[in-house]
Amino acid sequence: MFTGIVTDMGEVRGLTRGGDLRARIGCHYAMEGVDIGASIACDGACLTVIAKGPDWFDVEISAETVSKTNLDLWSEGRSLNLERALKVGDELGGHIVSGHVDGVADIVAMRDEGDSTRFTFRAPAALAKYIAPKGSVALNGTSLTVNEVEGTDFGVNIIPHTKSVTTWGRAQIGDRINLEIDTLARYVARLQEWKA
């Protein structure tokens, strides 16, 4: 489990495509404190550390994960939002995030509002029903509050601090973004289906 509070910006250092996709990710974490088998959210996708060095870790990514995320766009040098798994007793500063990406949203508009930037995203139609005004979403692993929803489009504001410590300062219209809907919304909708 994660909180959607990004704790490092990493970089893709290498990719190997075989039966699965293997990636080497550079980071600023003290890797002596990261175990093999640990979970690290990489742009919101929960991935397992399978090898590590002093300032990097390797992950193996299944075809299923690649098909549901923007990981097919990864290339060497790409910056990533990273978050280590939540420990019991850690502050829950964002919202409960599983690291199980539901799909990909597109940035369709950006405009400055004061020092913040208002982003408009277009969600896949099958996921849009789970997104509610003032609800939470995880976008590329970042916990964000939804401002408004119109059909499949929804807006969020990203403050200067978030832009400076995550990859959001480099985002552009047309970018494909990993979207994880709020876990509570998913279960409420599932319960409604069972009632029907």
Confidence of residue 191 (pLDDT cuts 50, 70, 90): confident
pLDDT at 81: 98
pLDDT tens digits, 8-62:
999 999 999 888 999 999 999 999 999 999 999 999 999 999 999 999 999 999 9
pLDDT tens digits, 107-124:
999 999 999 999 999 999
Mean pLDDT of 94-112: 94
Give SS3 for 186.
helix
pLDDT at 113: 94
pLDDT at 173: 98
CB-count burial class (<10 Å; 0-12, 13-18, 19+) for 126: exposed
Residues 16 and 78 in one domain: yes
What's the number of domains the chain is made of? 2
Where does a domain end: 84, 111, 136? Answer: 84
Residues 133 and 181 in one domain: yes
Amino acid code (one letter) for 103? G
Q: What is the DSSP string of 93-119?
A: -S--B-S---EEEEEEEEEEETTEEEE
Contacts of 185 (CB under 8 A, 6+ apart): 130, 131, 132, 135
What CATH number is associated with residue 34? 2.40.30.20
Residue with tokens 């974490």: 29
Q: How far apart are CA 63 and CA 135, in angstroms?
A: 30
Mean pLDDT of 125-143: 95
Residues 50 and 119 in one domain: no
Residues 51 and 128 in one domain: no
Where does a domain end: 84, 117, 139? Answer: 84
CA 170 to chain centre: 15
Residues 109 and 187 in one domain: yes
Confidence of residue 94 (pLDDT cuts 50, 70, 90): confident
Q: Classify residue 184: in a domain, yes or no.
A: yes
Q: Which domain holds residue 110?
A: 103-195
pLDDT surpasses 70 at 6:
yes
CB-count burial class (<10 Å; 0-12, 13-18, 19+) for 136: buried
